[in-house]
Amino acid sequence: MARLLEALAERMPREEVEAVYAFPPVRREGREHGVAVVSRVVGGDRRLVYRARYVVPLKGPERGKVTVAVEETAEAPAGTLPEVLEGVRRRADEAGDAEPVDLTAWKAVQGERSTTE
């Protein structure tokens, strides 16, 4: 999950990331596949919602090399996030429920960077 969060930090300001919900990872064909839903504050009650996917090879010369793809999937009011999560789960055929990711330490890194820049 740490590498996925770092990929998000490269694409958007940490302070705009309101929440990340991760589905249980799936292992198949020697790789771990994961999906997360990201809620980003874009003003007032509006949120941009992203689907972030990662793949980690578990064997061979590419072992441990993480590939991350992030795509915007919706813009919606904050109150509709549960429905958006369910829609992502259905479309991606994810097994299990998405769990919220604790972003406290990840967001704290921004404060540390701003004092050294």
Q: Residues near 71 by Cβ (< 8 Å), separated by ≥ 6?
A: 50, 51
Q: Tens digits of per-residue pLDDT, 20-75? A: 999 889 899 999 999 899 999 988 888 999 999 999 999 999 998 989 999 998 88
Amino acid identity, residue 34?
A: G
HEC string for 24-78: CCEEECCEEEEEEEEEEEEECCEEEEEEEEEEEECCCCCCCCCEEEEEEEEEEEH
Residues near 39 by Cβ (< 8 Å), separated by ≥ 6?
Answer: 17, 18, 19, 20, 21, 47, 48, 49, 78, 81
Q: Are 31 and 55 in contact (CB under 8 A)?
A: yes
3-state secondary structure of 96: coil
73: tokens are: 């999937």
pLDDT confidence band for 111 (50 / 70 / 90): low
Is residue 80 predicted with pLDDT exceeding 60?
Answer: yes
Q: What pLDDT is recorded for position 92? A: 66
- Mean pLDDT for the chain? 85
